[in-house]
Amino acid sequence: MNRTDYIPVDEARTLPGLFLKRVQRSAGITAYHQYDPGTTRWNRYTWGETAREVGRWQAALEAEGLKAGDRIGIMLRNCREWVLLEQAALGLGMVVVPLYTNDRAGNVAYIVNDATVKLLLIEGGETWHNIREARDQFGPLKRILTLQRVEDPDDDRLLHAADWLPAGGREPAEPDLYPQQLATIVYTSGTTGRPKGVMLSHHNILWNAWASTRIVPVYTDDLFLSFLPLSHMFERTVGHYIPILAGAQVAYARSIPELAEDLRTMRPTVLISVPRIFERVYNKIQAGLEEKPPLARRLFQAAVDVGWQRFQVRQKRAAWTPRLLLHPLLHALVGRKVMAGLGGRLRVSISGGAPLSVDIARTFIGLGLELIQGYGLTETSPVISANPPDDNDPASVGVPLPDVEVRIGEDDELLVRSPGVMLGYWNNDEATRAAIDRDGWFHTGDQARIERDHIYITGRIKEILVLANGEKVPPADVEMAIANDPLFEQVMVVGEGRPYMAAIAVLEQDHWRELARSLDLDPDDPAALTSDKATEAVLDRIHDQMKAFPGYAQIYRVILTLEPWTVEDGLITPTLKLRRKQIMERFADRIEALYAGH
């Protein structure tokens, strides 16, 4: 029905104010869906039910002796309890500090101490096992709550949330806050060094949620499937606060492995995602096509090509041709099946957090998905730009949100000034001054160009490989191209100060087995990964993906591994970005061996 019911920023004023206004408007309407493993059912919760639970959590926080300004940590997977504690704490003037569920113990201890976190909510035994080794460093923590019952006689701070909460619910407190008050400290995962605590106000986030809906509308009958971590501002603003602002529903996915089933079960209309998810689906589709006859592959490509042409006509970038008459048939044979795997009701999917390959975007758009790429940073609450549905250029990251100023500075750096720019970095004035200049421009660190009001990210100021011959190569572009081949699970290129570029590649297990057997190699023998046959075959595959790159940007050597890089081992960030320094340290000896004699 496409009805909107936005709550204006000046009416909400603060984040808990937004929530209470939504409760007043929509008390009896479903707000959240959550799976109950005990009953194996998806439960629904209305806005009114959620508000009474928020009041219950507030009563417990007050009984704990916590007060306005105190920092509260949440280290949970996406779930309704995340929302309950967040809203309860914010409504009492407390500051929420989100932590990634699979963060390392030392990092958790650093954040707890840096932000002086007094209460931390975690999932259960597995999380406690992972962070327990650093518990002696949790000095400021007075209480550690668990959703699942955990027994540990060595730490009397541990308490099951069910035992901590009072028996009955109550109406949540009316917030006594001002819009520019500090709402949250979000620690950037960073690819190098210690994380920095980004301070965001109520108005920063509330304005950003409202401004985002000016580019991509959200309706009261929309259903979001939430699976990106709420500890990241992309999901928190777009997948959490926008639904509150618009009166839409949210279903919390059970896990990434169960995402495909949850998509088919919940049938969302809006999906917030990162490129890696689309890459995995794309690679799965390509792998399936390899096993089908040539006619099926040609049919698939025809569906993509005609669908893309239809999209270009809609965008007024191409003229209608008779070929478009084939679209209904091709979509019924190909596109509809792919869309059914995404639930069959998906109205729009928004991709952010990292660059999205134009080829992958073209494929999904051609198959019928309204795929919108956006751009932002934690420091900007986070959205800076997004592609409007009627002016969508997948090669760009869209147009600036209303009230966002952008310009190109030195070294082609994108500078941003907006109501979403952070208050600063917690306990780090020097970093704040380096990021925000005297005129209020935030320095993104990304290189860009601006054409037709669209922003095109061209590289990173600090993530440019300068080869020994002086040629400059943005590694992310090369890695994205290579990763389009389903053989590659993860890729990082190296070559700073070297005569040529090389790659470290994590191979997808099944595709590796297939490749190894085709080369008469034993896929279970570790020596096969270092054989000349394997490296030459993999380099051939890499070169196939890099035909559009200049000669100096080609890959001439490769290190192969089957061990994925994970958040737990510190080699990728929780948003799946490469920690380049740490990966280079892990493979230092093998990298040196690649360049020996050159």
Q: What DSSP assignment string belongs to 334-402? A: IIHHHHHHTTS---EEEE-SSPPPHHHHHHHHHTT--EEEEEE-GGGSSEEEE--TTS--TTS--EEPT
- Which is nearest to 247 in space by CA: 276, 288, 209? 209
Residue 473 is predicted with a pLDDT of 78
- Distance CA(378)–CA(199), nearest Å, equals 9
Reported as a pLDDT band with limits 50, 70 and 90, residue 460 is confident
Residue 335 is predicted with a pLDDT of 95
- Which is nearest to 490 in space by CA: 585, 572, 590, 589? 572
The full length of the chain comes to 598
Q: Quick check: 326 and 366 in contact, CB under 8 A?
A: no
- Output the pTM of the full model: 0.84
Kindly state the average pLDDT of the residues 329-355: 94
- Distance CA(145)–CA(150), nearest Å, equals 9
Pairing of strands 383-386, 399-400: antiparallel
Kindly state the average pLDDT of the residues 552-575: 88
pLDDT tens digits, residue range 192-245?
Answer: 457 899 999 999 999 999 999 999 999 999 999 999 999 999 999 999 999 999
Reported as a pLDDT band with limits 50, 70 and 90, residue 463 is confident
- Distance CA(509)–CA(524), nearest Å, equals 10
Reported as a pLDDT band with limits 50, 70 and 90, residue 165 is very high
More confident: 595 or 379:
379
Burial label for 28, CB within 10 Å (0-12, 13-18, 19+), is exposed
- Distance CA(233)–CA(209), nearest Å, equals 11
Find the Cα–Cα–Cα–Cα dihedral 457, 461, 464, 469, rounded to 10°: 120
Kindly state the average pLDDT of the residues 172-193: 84
Half-sphere exposure for 522 (CA within 13 Å, toward CB): 4
Residue 191 is predicted with a pLDDT of 45
- Distance CA(480)–CA(483), nearest Å, equals 5
Taken in order 569, 575, 576, 582, the sign of the CA dihedral is negative
- Distance CA(421)–CA(434), nearest Å, equals 14
More confident: 253 or 257:
253
Statement: residue 28 has pLDDT above 50: yes
Kindly state the average pLDDT of the residues 404-433: 96
From residue 289, alpha-carbon distances to 286, 298, 521 in Å are 5, 10, 25
pLDDT tens digits, residue range 310-340?
Answer: 999 999 999 999 999 999 999 999 999 999 9
Could you tell me the domains of the chain? 10-177 (3.40.50.980), 273-460 (3.40.50.12780), 465-595 (3.30.300.30)
Statement: residue 27 has pLDDT above 80: yes
Residue 598 is predicted with a pLDDT of 56
Reading phi first (left if > 0) and then psi (alpha if -120 to 50, else beta), residue 490 is in beta
What mean pLDDT value characterizes the chain? 93
- Distance CA(236)–CA(346), nearest Å, equals 20
pLDDT tens digits, residue range 573-587?
Answer: 877 788 888 999 999
Residue 189 is predicted with a pLDDT of 60
pLDDT tens digits, residue range 357-407?
Answer: 899 999 999 999 999 999 999 999 999 999 999 999 999 999 999 999 999
More confident: 446 or 204:
204
Residue 192 is predicted with a pLDDT of 46
Residue 400 is predicted with a pLDDT of 98
Statement: residue 470 has pLDDT above 70: no
Cβ neighbours, 10 Å, residue 285: 16
More confident: 311 or 481:
311
- Distance CA(40)–CA(443), nearest Å, equals 48
Kindly state the average pLDDT of the residues 109-126: 96
Which residue carries 């005297």 as its tokens?
438
Q: Quick check: 14 and 177 in contact, CB under 8 A?
A: yes
Burial label for 224, CB within 10 Å (0-12, 13-18, 19+), is buried
- Which is nearest to 339 in space by CA: 313, 371, 315, 314? 371
Highest mean pLDDT of the ranges 96-110, 434-448, 489-503: 434-448
Residue 193 is predicted with a pLDDT of 56
Q: What tokens were used for 2?
A: 């496409």
Phi, psi of 568 (to 5 degrees): -60, -35
- Distance CA(172)–CA(91), nearest Å, equals 8
- Which is nearest to 208 in space by CA: 375, 78, 337? 375
Q: Crossing angle for the helix pair 475-482 and 532-545, nearest 10 degrees?
A: 110
Query: For the CA atoms of the chain, what is the radius of gyration?
Result: 25
Strand residue runs (E) in 424-487: 424-425, 442-451, 454-460, 465-466, 472-473
Residue 597 is predicted with a pLDDT of 61
Helix (H) or strand (E) holding 215: helix 202-215
